[in-house]
Structure 1
Amino acid sequence: MNNNVPLTSHLVITLQEVLPLVQGGLKTQAAAAALKAVRYLEQVLSTLSDPYEIAITTYALTLTESSRKNSAFNLLHKTRRQGIDGQLYWSREPIPDNNIKYENQRPFLKHREYQEGDSLAVEATSFALMVYLIRDGVTMIPETIVQWLTSVRMSNNGFISTIDTVIALQALTEYSFRARIKDITNMDITMELPSSAGFRENMHITNKTPSEIHSLEIPNVWGHANVIARGSGQAILQMDISYGVDSQTLAEAPKKKSFELEIREWVRDHPVMSGAAVLEVEIPTGYHLIESEATKIVQSGVLPTLQDARTIEGKTIWFFDHITSEWSCFNHTVRRWFPVANMTLYRQAFLYDAFAREHFVQTIFNSTPLYIMSICEVCGSYQCPYCPFYSDANHRTNNILVCYVDKHTQALLYPRQISEYLLVPSRLVFLSVVLLSASFLEHVFVQLSTPSPYFSLLKGAMISSSSGQKKDGEASPKAGNQKKASAAQLRITKDINELNLPKTCNTEFPDPDDLLNFKLVICPDEGFYRGGRFIFSFKVGPNYPHEPPKVKCETAVYHPNIDLEGNVCLNILREDWKPVLTINSIVYGLQYLFLEPNPEDPLNKDAAEVLQNNRRLFEQNVQKAMRGGYVGAVYFERCLK
């Protein structure tokens, strides 16, 4: 690519835009410079073959009403590319269309992946769109170009990177104005989620609010969404999904390797020097890097190419002027601000080109020291009656008294007030421990000496333990009198209390005192299994939530994902289980199996084959099994309500 051509074209476009704003001698000089630049573009036009150069040059010559604008347009029209659905775009290499996945013989559009050359393709296509609009107005060709641009959005309200987004939005604004979309826009949008019973949201888009963003948060990311639009006008529907990645094999991979990244070290291999780059590093929940500390790192000059930094919740972002082929490293310290248990073993870091987002690398790094800590180990209070770490120490902490010295007042605070003060660290000058049990003393040293520079613990504080002290005639409590709840019991109690069951589900506890063993009853009200009643048994093991509960279907059912022994094929009960998932997640997963059976991952292969080849026969077999009777050589008990 001839670098002089895009730069000269940008110069012509800029001068053409600003000439009406300047006066006098400066305007004369600018006009003369623009004329020289146009003459240069006209001379090199016949030598151009790169689609990006052709697109930006054609736009520049069209804006200036050059005598060679028609020749440029013919060259632009010849270099167009065409997608599967007839959509037109301009790119050096073909840009693949979105993949389509078929489930139950229904096509689902998969998410789009970054492709090599995305940024330049969007920019070139946007220049081409503006050329067609200037020449011919709104015709079928601009319509197909707009459809392609809409299909390659990779972020909310944006495209691939900064420059291409600016040009694309300018082109789409011009299209919207010429097509008078604002004048005719009046539509009703309805969104339904079959996987979330009762989820139905309505939105109304009018010409009074054309630029307003309407967004919905999907409560359960499972299954598919139905979106229905009625009325007139045009609107963009975009689904944004974020998910955690805990294995390098699951990380996103670019089409062409542009970076290498290690924790605290990174490099760009080719070319020798990159353009502007951005590094995003995930930080654990509850931790934060103060903006001023990030600024100090930038100003320290530890990395000469490091230009700026930002800190947001859950992430630090570092902006570099360029990346060289030499290894560079730096470190920064994040501090705990809130007592949160970090239940993920892995976090991720992204390094990408600021102006070509498809050039990136994603690296997963290990966070074992935080992962192995439970919430009880980082909690700021020992008052939780269910806590296995501290509930057995109540008899030793009756006389605890902690004295805080505030900036303005001095007060004696009882333990229930501790958590309130811990959340406002800037109000504290120092902390003095007056009476403290041995078990809590260790906890205070660990938790208050680590998280925040605003706390300082007085070394000369008076410390005495009431542990083991007793009044005359009072017997000491005997160890073992109180039964300590296991971690699994604590977690399942929390999960059961927070259950949010759909109307088609309910739980049954044969032994009300045993929360580790219970039953779930699902009565689907739609789909193949409508009117049935299916019972699942849950057995929660001692390693819960680090291991999923054992779930079996006690009702014989003709289903591709449930075999005749009651085993259930559900990903979150197997390899996709994470400790952050709850019983509620499993309930919705089981419910969705009855709404959308999955023949691609079967346990009952015969049922899966029938579902794939003959949905009508599958439905008849399901009804026959629920009424009670034989399906093939297998007898099913009646399970209708």
Structure 2
Amino acid sequence: TCNETLNPERAFPCYTKPDECYGYRQKCDGKIDCLTGVDEMNCESDSYRDVPGYVEPYFEFMFRHFIYDEDWLWQDLYAKPFLNGKVPINTAVVPKLETGWVIGAIAIDSEKGIQVQEDPTMFTSTRRFYMRLEAPKSAFWGEQLGIRVALFNRWDYWIEVLVVLKKSKDYDFVSVGAGGQVNSYSPELVSNSDVHSLVYLRGGGHTMIYFPVLPRQTGKVTISFCTYSFIGGECSAVTIPISINGVANSYSSPILIDLVDNSELLAQNFFIIAEQTFVEPEKRWRRYVPGSKAAYLTVVGDIVGPTLGPDQPYCDASCSAWKPVGSAESVLFNMNRNVQMLHYLRMTKQLQDATLKSTLTYVNTQFARLTFFIEPTSGGISNFPERFANETSTFLTALGLYTLAETSFSEWDQITYISPDIFKKLLIFLNATQVRTGDPEFFGSFTDSIQWDLKYFNIYINDVPVDPAFHPYLERVTITALSVLATSHPSIPKPLGPLASTISSAALSYLRRHLPKMGNNALCLAMTAYALTFDSDTTYKFKARDMLLSSVRTDNYLYWAVRRLRSLIREPDTAGKVIIKPRIEWPNDAFAVEATGFALLALFKTGSPSTDSILRNNITKIVHFLSETKNMAQGWISTQDTIIAIRALREIAQLDLNRVIYNIRVDISPSSDVSKSRSIFLDGSNLTVPQTYALGDADTWGEVTVKASGSGRAVLQLYVTKSVENEFQVKNAADPVTPENSFRTFEVSCVPNFAGKNGSLLHMTSCARGLRHIWLSGNTVNLFFSNITSTETTCTTLTFPRFFPVANVTIEHSCSVYEYFENDNGNFTLYKATSLHSADICKVCGSFQCPYCPDYNFATVVQPTVAVLLAAVALLLMGWRKATIEVSC
């Protein structure tokens, strides 16, 4: 017992054990004497970093919001004057933190100006009793999840807490037999019934108890708990998304429906690649995991694709290009992609105020993140500055300048104001890194370690090897052309115009000098052709256009690529119907889309589509190609190709002034169940809003027949997924290449119950050759390598502690390595966690019923005496119909 009268050195309790105390001399002496750190709380401190338990975030401005809840009471409201002088405040949820708060108020009045509360209010949010639930962020079907229930008693006396897992038809309780006997794959279950457990909590103490549950179905499952005690209680729930097992394969079948010249389109028959049954005759392996099939038909009445709206105010790299976040390039993509959509909606008068505000707010947060990647001394942008701040990139700096110029718009400055000092830093870096001395052949060029088309100098182009003598010159073209686009942007602040013009003029001279060497190098030629449209000398502009037209490929509409891309397979069946099959990914998809996008921009700026019928016809074919190379509704293959494709299609779509009168009807009929046929209607009010038609597992097979009528244009995309269990079934691109120098990403899907922290993972980037960054996103670990070669082995060891107890863990997990700027060029496979799959719920200590685990909830077995037995018999003889004796063990 702590009593300052009896012993001043044991004046105050530590709230850990009943006999642990501290005295006046230990209070606020800068040393933590109690395990809880209570002896150093409520002390005068110059910095919140001195507070016990403070967690130093690695990127403070990015993560501090997610560590602390200091903004829970921040509100701003317009208040009319009341006679009683009171101002209504919206209801706020007090966070479950054992701390104190300083609450104040600021008022702005037209007559009295700014008023600040003179004496702030001190508020303590510590509850006497509360509960917290913790569970995996996601799980797979069949896994047994140990839900962590944390109980806190902040009263000064012990209590007993009754914890109840509420009954539900969505999950079962995993029952453990005597002595901890339980099966990993077929345990005894308690279905649709409440489960109770009584927990003892000492004064000022806390404990954790685990309840093992087994979700019955896929989708979102909500697990509810209630706690009851004499000093309070509460009910809470946790929602866990449950996915199907296996590694998912996805298949895309996009087409463009053009009803401008025809009022009706013949039926289009999309082939669903997933079979009706999962059994392969005379084979042990299954075609796919039962229950894993799904099909989604997305219809958008606009060639740009789904834009932005109330349901999706922004789209980042993960939803648009399946790319992990964590790098400067992904931040720039998040800004650029959303800004492009805003400009398109603004130019076509489809932009709503709510969408504008939400999107600009998101863009502004990305801009704040971007400032972290800007090296303060040189002004260059580094892809991973936490350990490699000196590895600034010319490519990223030019891309950043271009992105900020696109974002800088006077009408948006209230939310996304970009200081001219930021532009100045980037321009000074480009000016310092531009080649001005040495070999005159390289004058005006840029070079960088990030080469997003370098691999194509090691393979054949049009079946003819590239002249090795051209390599040193061509590998600088793309970055030099990008710098021209950035420095020639009209949004560059006027005082910086002379500096930008100097950089641009030198870069243009390099492109003009080496234009004849580009020949059939699609991306170099297309970017140069577009960059030369900003040149005052029109001679080279038209020369580059003629080179583009002479190198165009015509086997799949019109496109530019270093290797042939197969078009969508359209095959007639026995009944004479034309069946559209999913597109086949090729290792140069992204570069073909990017080159075609730049070529479209160049042709558009050097011609007049409104008067030139040949150019107009060519643009239509290019738009068809771009529409049929999409891997998803919101994007194409990677980040850079998605940005350029949207930018090019935006210019074409803005010319269409008839969208207000467009009206399209799309009739959809699946062969698996014609009763689920549906019609989708598009008009001027919802052209850019995606309309989705979904098929469940039972109906995902056969064909989907689509018939369109009306007027306008629409992009239809059938997206089919199914999960597989074997390595040879994992989908890969056709004929991949192995470049010796490229920026690679290695993705590993982790077991859901294991977790790591980005702050600790970042310190492991020096463990492997070429490893630049590690980023954990959900259950996927992303490792960024500057270079992975086929001649040297690259090994990385990562340690992930078990954070949640999960039994019967799913076996198959995805694993892939691919080029960052070319997703389809890589190796996609899986690995199996068989040892984790065989662990039962007691081996991972996921239940309070397990006798050898720390949270084992037990009681001494009561042995009934002779007197107790005689009393029980007497009660029965006296006429009691039922007598129950409960023994807790």
Give the alignment's TM-score, normalised by structure 1: 0.54
- CA gap of 1:211–1:338, structure 2 versus 1, over 3 A, is farther
Aligned equivalent of 1:564: none
Distance in 1 (alpha carbons) for counterparts of 2:843 and 2:674? 38
Q: Aligned to 2:718, which of 239, 244, 251?
A: 239
Aligned equivalent of 2:549: 77
CA contact (8 A) 1:38 1:66 kept: no
- CA gap of 1:95–1:463, structure 2 versus 1, over 3 A, is same
Cα shift at 1:223: 1.6
Cα shift at 1:62: 2.0
Aligned equivalent of 2:485: 13
Distance in 2 (alpha carbons) for counterparts of 1:375 and 1:159? 43
- CA gap of 1:104–1:337, structure 2 versus 1, over 3 A, is farther
CA contact (8 A) 1:129 1:145 kept: yes
- CA gap of 1:67–1:311, structure 2 versus 1, over 3 A, is closer
| Gapped regions of structure 2 (runs ≥ 5) | 1-470, 611-615, 874-889
Distance in 2 (alpha carbons) for counterparts of 1:466 and 1:113? 70
Render the CA deviation track for 1:527-547: whole Å, top value 9, x for unaligned. xxxxxxxxxxxxxxxxxxxxx
Aligned equivalent of 1:278: 745
CA contact (8 A) 2:817 2:826 kept: yes
CA contact (8 A) 2:842 2:850 kept: no
Distance in 2 (alpha carbons) for counterparts of 1:379 and 1:188? 57
- CA gap of 1:48–1:306, structure 2 versus 1, over 3 A, is closer
Aligned equivalent of 1:148: 625
Aligned equivalent of 1:287: 753
Aligned equivalent of 1:386: none
Instruction: State yes or no: 1:176 paired with 2:653.
Output: yes
- CA gap of 1:468–1:248, structure 2 versus 1, over 3 A, is farther
Give runs of aligned pairs for residues 466-505 of structure 1, distance below 5 A: 472=869
Distance in 1 (alpha carbons) for counterparts of 2:814 and 2:865? 50
Q: Aligned to 1:126, which of 584, 592, 597?
A: 597
Aligned length: 384
Cα shift at 1:174: 0.8
Aligned equivalent of 2:475: 3
The amino acid of 2:586's aligned partner reads: Q
- CA gap of 1:378–1:35, structure 2 versus 1, over 3 A, is closer
The amino acid of 2:547's aligned partner reads: L
CA contact (8 A) 1:340 1:375 kept: yes
Cα shift at 1:10: 1.4
Q: Aligned to 2:558, which of 74, 88, 109?
A: 88
The amino acid of 1:93's aligned partner reads: R
- CA gap of 1:363–1:131, structure 2 versus 1, over 3 A, is same
Cα shift at 1:88: 0.5
Give the alignment's TM-score, normalised by structure 2: 0.40
Distance in 2 (alpha carbons) for counterparts of 1:44 and 1:168? 26
Matched position secondary structure for 2:823: strand
Cα shift at 1:177: 0.7
- CA gap of 1:121–1:467, structure 2 versus 1, over 3 A, is farther
Render the CA deviation track for 1:211-256: whole Å, top value 9, x for unaligned. 3222333213222222333322222111222222211221223344
Matched position secondary structure for 2:722: coil
- CA gap of 1:365–1:47, structure 2 versus 1, over 3 A, is closer
Matched position secondary structure for 1:192: strand
Distance in 2 (alpha carbons) for counterparts of 1:214 and 1:251? 29
Cα shift at 1:101: 5.2
- CA gap of 1:225–1:331, structure 2 versus 1, over 3 A, is same
Render the CA deviation track for 1:446-499: whole Å, top value 9, x for unaligned. xxx5xxxxxx537xx865457999985999xxxxxxxxxxxxxxxxxxxxxxxx
Instruction: State yes or no: 1:351 paired with 2:822.
Output: no
Tell me which protein shows more helix as a share of its residues: 1
Aligned equivalent of 1:521: none
Render the CA deviation track for 1:392-438: whole Å, top value 9, x for unaligned. xxxxxxxxxxxxxxxxxxxxxxxxxxxxxxxxxxxxxxx8xxxxxxx
Q: Aligned to 2:683, which of 206, 219, 225?
A: 206
Matched position secondary structure for 1:225: strand
Cα shift at 1:140: 0.7
Render the CA deviation track for 1:345-383: whole Å, top value 9, x for unaligned. 4222111111111221112212223445689999978xx
The amino acid of 1:31's aligned partner reads: S
CA contact (8 A) 2:559 2:592 kept: yes
Give runs of aligned pairs for residues 325-336 of structure 1, distance below 5 A: 325-333=792-800, 335=802
Choose between structure 1 and 2 for higher RCO, CA contacts under 8 A separated by at least 6 residues: 2
Tell me which protein shows more strand as a share of its residues: 2
Matched position secondary structure for 1:249: helix
User: What is the RMSD of the two structures over their aligned residues, measured on CA atoms?
Assistant: 3.4
CA contact (8 A) 2:755 2:803 kept: no
Render the CA deviation track for 1:569-623: whole Å, top value 9, x for unaligned. xxxxxxxxxxxxxxxxxxxxxxxxxxxxxxxxxxxxxxxxxxxxxxxxxxxxxxx
Give runs of aligned pairs for residues 433-448 of structure 1, distance below 5 A: 440-442=849-851, 445=852
- CA gap of 1:133–1:280, structure 2 versus 1, over 3 A, is same
Matched position secondary structure for 1:28: helix
Aligned equivalent of 1:317: 782
Aligned equivalent of 1:193: 670
Give runs of aligned pairs for residues 383-532 of structure 1, distance below 5 A: 440-442=849-851, 445=852, 449=853, 456-457=854-855, 463-465=859-861, 472=869
- CA gap of 1:225–1:256, structure 2 versus 1, over 3 A, is closer
The amino acid of 2:546's aligned partner reads: N
Cα shift at 1:258: 5.0
The amino acid of 2:484's aligned partner reads: V
| Gapped regions of structure 1 (runs ≥ 5) | 260-269, 382-430, 432-439, 450-455, 476-641
Render the CA deviation track for 1:119-144: whole Å, top value 9, x for unaligned. 22111111111122221226110000
Distance in 2 (alpha carbons) for counterparts of 1:294 and 1:370? 24
Aligned equivalent of 2:588: 117
Matched position secondary structure for 2:649: helix
- CA gap of 1:258–1:228, structure 2 versus 1, over 3 A, is same
- CA gap of 1:294–1:468, structure 2 versus 1, over 3 A, is farther
The amino acid of 2:832's aligned partner reads: N
